[in-house]
Structures are given as C-alpha cells and as structure tokens.
Amino acid sequence: MKNDSIVFHGNLQQLLANVETGEMIPKLQASHAPMCKFFTAYYVISGIRHVVPLVHGPTGCPLYMSDFVRTRECCEIRGVPLEPTACTALDESHVIYGGEGKLLEAVKEAYAKYHPDLIVILSCCCSGIIGDDVESIAREAEKLVGCRVLALRSEGFGGDFRSGYEDAFRLILDLMEPPKKTMKGTINILGARWGPTPTEFNWDMDEIERLLGNVGIKINAIIAGGCTVEQITRAREVELNASWCYDWGQKLGDLMQERYGIPYSRTGQPYGPEATKEWILGVATPLGMEKKALAVIGREMRDVEPDLAYLKKALSGKTAIIEISEFPGPIRALSLARMAEEFGAHPVVINVHPYTIKERMPSIKFLVETGVNPEIILTKGLFKLGSFRSSKETEDELEEIVRTYDDAIFFGNAGRFPPCPVVNLTLMNPVFQPQYGFRGITNIAALVRQALENKDLPRSRLFKGMLYGTRTK
C-alpha cells in the first residue's frame, strides 16, 4: 500500500518492538494526556463498598472523582448509595508546614462521620512532594479508629495510569487474610473498578456471571467491582482467580499466584466463540468442572448457531478495519481483531497509539504470545499536536486507507465516516451490550447486520460537521 500519510505498516509484534526501543514513542510533550496515577488508583478503591477514599491533597483532585465516578457513574448508573469522597483540602500553609497532623485528624474525623469498613489514604502531587509520610500516618491512625486504614502513594506525577491501578490492587492484597478453608468451585474475578455493573442494561460482567453460574461456578468477590471488605479478606479461600479483562486483572492475579499460590486463569477477553470457550474452560478446567462447562458451551453454541452462521457468511473474505479509540479501547480492539479473523475476515488495526502500547505492555505481550498479531497501520495524524481522537487528519487518513481495500468493513465507532459499512461497537450504546460471551455474539451479529444492510443509507452530515468541521481536506 502506498500512502504518504502512513508512518508505520507492519504487525503488532513489530510495533511492540518499536515501542520497546523507544522508536515509536511520540516526542510531542503537549500531545495526548491520558489519566494520571491518582485517577486509576481511585477508580479501583472506589469499587469497594463502605470505603472512605481520603484524598490527601487540595480539592481539585477528588472533585473529578466525586462528580464523575461517585455521583454519575455509581449513584446514577450503578444504583450505589452516595458514598463519601473525603479530602484534607490542603492549602498553602500545609504545603509549607506539612499536612501530616491534619491527615491524622482527618482519618479520625472520617471514621466518626462515615463509620466505614475501610479508609484508604490517597496521596496527591502536593502531599507527595512535601513528603508527608502517609504510610506512617495510616499505621498510627489505624490504632485510633475501628477499621483498617491503608495508604496508597498515588501522586499524579508518580507514574502512568497503569501504575495507579496496579498499586491499588497491590494494596488490596494487604486486606486478604490467611485462608481458614477452601471455597470449592469458587473464584474471584479480578480487575474491576468503580462498582457493580449498571442497573438498567446487561453488561459484559453480567454475561460472565451468567455463564459461570450455568457451569455451577461461584464468585466470592469481584475485586473491586462493588465487593465488600469482608469478601476481600476471604479472597484467599478461593480455588482460582480469573479476570474478564486480562489488562486490568493481570497484576493482582500474578501477585496472588506468586504470594499465595492461587492459580490465575490467563485468558484474553471472551470476544467471539473461540475466545469465549477458552475463557470458560480456562476457569472450569482447573476447578475440575470441564465436563459441565463443555455442556454449557455446547448448549450456548447451539443457541447462537444462526448468529455464528451469519457472521461467517457476512465477514468471510472481507478486510476488517479496526480502529482503537476511546470506545472500544485498545485491548478490546485487539480481541475484536482475533474474532474477525475467526469469522474469515482479514483484520487490520488502525491507529493504536504507541502510548497505549507502552502503557499496556504486559497485556499486549500476552496477546502476542497467544497468537494475536494483526496487521497494524499508524498514520501521521496520530502524532500531531493535541488530541488525536477526533482529529480531522486521522479521519481523512482513515477514509483514504479504507478506499484502498475492495471489500472493507469498519469496526470502531460511529464517529468515523469511512466509505464502507460501519460496525458501531461503542460501549456508549448500551442497547447492544454485552459484547462478551455468547450473548455478545448475538449482539455483534446484530451490529454487523445493521452495518451491512444499511450501508447505503446516508450518513449524518450534521454529526460529521460537528466532529470534523465543514472544511474540505
């Protein structure tokens, strides 16, 4: 393919190598700012019931969490009661004289006000730089209140977004008590955050729970997807750990395996029939429940037979252009690439940002090891100043690339306008959720059907103008 806008064309393994050597990391400082360590640490901690995340910093850091995670996501969507987002509200005098004294008082006050099961002190840039010893304060404070008090160094400058949730999961490990028994046929699901799934729509986690339930596998805790402190303390009594997203669960799974010898089922996301089978068997086989799992898989496969047949017929011989964007994210997009290949399409993943490769290196390596190695194209627009997500440049480049294929189908979201059928896989349209598992196959088949049957309908001039302006290239 000859195209001036292409800056990388190879496979995932080659891109990975380029990122590891630093060759593909963009040099523009001003471009692409993902979440900081504090955010992702908070995401994880907020997924524990009756926890007070006590932010040791000014009021700006917790407020995004308070509005977005607590009120909108948890209360409004997930049916969770209003839980506190407490803060020590550091000001200039604390920056000069230190905030440890205030923090100790704040822990006592938080316990008196909210009667939580757990208090987690989260440090921010301020408290980190002035050197407040949050761990010592946590130890001291724990003697004065009636619940566990833990400290998490989550300064925004202290690491990328991955380090925030990894450190938070590592902290959760400290809550786990030595097992008193083994819970037969029971697992933990690792890698969740925020809280339970939304109340009004079925989500990927619901599909996983349904399938596990059909096999007869019980879940002790979804860590940290609305689990209790008590469930965490018993987490070592399970027979196995698993994750619905390798990227998020991997760190805690590995740690629990290393420290406590609890096996961790290493599988990718259950997109499509093969990955779903692998996922279920990856959990059921170590538990000695393979036979029952195979029976469930057989029954589920029969139920989705028409959808599988449709997907094979619809995708066979096509080029599946898959774009990594906000929704779906990079790991999902790579899982989709595998699924597209399974149905006879040739996957081409476009514009997976080297930043996201760098941040998710262990997960991407795992996927490559399991044979996920699609063709990758990166374009110039990806490396321009500012955010790449909705840039006119990347849209123009995508349209140009799609034109070079005879029988392309686009997997991404409807914010793109390529000259081919568009499969709208955004997670922001809950109508076609879940995408995981067997119900996911039915939903994805419906989305592909919509894309192909309606490919000649006019696209929205309004939305395109909104996203990319009305000027021509």
Partner 1 sequence: MPDTCTDPYLRCAFNGAAQTALGVAGSALLAHSPQGCEYLVNNAFASQECDYMETMTLCTKLCVDEIVHGGEDLLARTIREAKDLPISALFVISACGPEIVGDDIVGVCEDMQPEVKFRLVPVPCAGFRGSQYDGIDIALDEIVKRCTKNTKEKIPDSVCLIAPHANANPTWIADLDWVQRILSQMGVRVVATLTHRTPLAEIENAASAETSLVVSHDAGQKAADYLSATWGTEQVCTGIPLPIGMTNTQRWLTTLGERFDAQKAAESMVAEGERMVMATCRRKWPMARFLYRTPAAIVADATVGIPLVRFVCEDMEMTPELVALYTSQRTVRTLLERELKELGLTPKVVYGTDVYTTRKSLAEVRPRVVFGSTIERHASEGLGVSYIVEVVKMMRQFRMINREYFGYTGILNLFECVQNEWTMGWRSKERSYKAKW
Secondary structure of the chain in HEC code, one letter for each residue: CCCCCEEEEEEHHHHHHHHHCCCCCCCCCCCCCCCCHHHHHHHHHCCECCEEEEEECCCHHHHHHHHHHHHHHHHHHHCCCCCCCEECCCCHHHHHHCCHHHHHHHHHHHHHHHCCCEEEEEECHHHHHHCCCHHHHHHHHHCCCCCEEEEECCCHHHCCHHHHHHHHHHHHHCCCCCCCCCCCCEEEEECCCCCCCCCCCCCHHHHHHHHHHHHCCEEEEEECCCECHHHHHCHHHCCEEEECCHHHHHHHHHHHHHHHCCCECCCCCCCHHHHHHHHHHHHHCCCCCHHHHHHHHHHHHHHCHHHHHHHHHHHCCCEEEEECCCCCCHHHHHHHHHHHHHCCCEEEEECCCHHHHHHCHHHHHHHHHCCCCCEEEEEHHHHCCCCCCCCHHHHHHHHHHHHCCCCEEEEECCCCCCCCCEEECCCCCHHHCCCCHHHHHHHHHHHHHHHHHCCCCCCCHHHHHHHHCCCCC
Which member of 105, 230, 326, 407 binds partner 1 (CB under 8 A)?
Answer: 105
Which member of 17, 22, 97, 113 binds partner 1 (CB under 8 A)?
Answer: 113
Which member of 158, 270, 328, 374 binds partner 1 (CB under 8 A)?
Answer: 158
Least gap, CB of 473 to partner 1 (angstroms):
15
Can residue 37 be called a binding residue for partner 1 (CB under 8 A)?
yes
Task: Please say which residue, 29 or 371, places its beta carbon nearer to partner 1.
Answer: 29
Binding map of partner 1 across residues 55-84, x = CB under 8 A, - = no contact: --xxxxxxxx-xx---xx--xx----xx-x
Task: Please say which residue, 102 or 346, places its beta carbon nearer to partner 1.
Answer: 102
What Å distances lie between residue 433 and 312, 333, 397, 447, CA to CA?
21, 16, 30, 11
Task: Please say which residue, 371 or 469, places its beta carbon nearer to partner 1.
Answer: 469
Can residue 38 be called a binding residue for partner 1 (CB under 8 A)?
yes
Which member of 11, 22, 33, 316 binds partner 1 (CB under 8 A)?
Answer: 33
Task: Please say which residue, 155 or 307, places its beta carbon nearer to partner 1.
Answer: 155
Task: Please say which residue, 141 or 293, places its beta carbon nearer to partner 1.
Answer: 141
Residue tagged 């990227």 (tokens):
247
Task: Please say which residue, 153 or 318, places its beta carbon nearer to partner 1.
Answer: 153
Least gap, CB of 304 to partner 1 (angstroms):
29
Least gap, CB of 361 to partner 1 (angstroms):
17
Least gap, CB of 350 to partner 1 (angstroms):
21
Task: Please say which residue, 124 or 176, places its beta carbon nearer to partner 1.
Answer: 124
Least gap, CB of 435 to partner 1 (angstroms):
26
Which member of 387, 404, 454, 460 binds partner 1 (CB under 8 A)?
Answer: 387
- Distance CA(228)–CA(172), nearest Å, equals 11
Return the range that interacts with partner 1 (CB under 8 A); candidates 91-99, 309-317, 405-413, 450-458.
91-99
Can residue 54 be called a binding residue for partner 1 (CB under 8 A)?
yes
- Residues that bind partner 1 (rule: CB under 8 A) add up to a total of 62
Return the range that interacts with partner 1 (CB under 8 A); candidates 31-39, 215-223, 278-286, 435-443.
31-39
Task: Please say which residue, 292 or 464, places its beta carbon nearer to partner 1.
Answer: 464
Which residues ranging from 118 to 147 are in contact with partner 1 (CB under 8 A)? 124-126, 129-130
What Å distances lie between residue 468 and 369, 381, 418, 473, CA to CA?
38, 13, 13, 10
Task: Please say which residue, 210 or 380, places its beta carbon nearer to partner 1.
Answer: 380
Which member of 24, 90, 192, 448 binds partner 1 (CB under 8 A)?
Answer: 90
Can residue 325 be called a binding residue for partner 1 (CB under 8 A)?
no
Task: Please say which residue, 136 or 404, places its beta carbon nearer to partner 1.
Answer: 136
> Which tokens sit at 336?
């989709």
Binding map of partner 1 across residues 199-218, x = CB under 8 A, - = no contact: --------------------
Task: Please say which residue, 86 or 287, places its beta carbon nearer to partner 1.
Answer: 86
Can residue 1 be called a binding residue for partner 1 (CB under 8 A)?
no
Task: Please say which residue, 82 or 295, places its beta carbon nearer to partner 1.
Answer: 82
Strands 375-379 and 6-11: antiparallel
Which member of 157, 177, 298, 326 binds partner 1 (CB under 8 A)?
Answer: 157
Q: Return residues touching partner 1 (CB under 8 A).
A: 28-30, 33-39, 54, 57-64, 66-67, 71-72, 75-76, 81-82, 84-92, 94-95, 102-103, 105-107, 109-110, 112-114, 124-126, 129-130, 155-158, 385-387, 390, 469
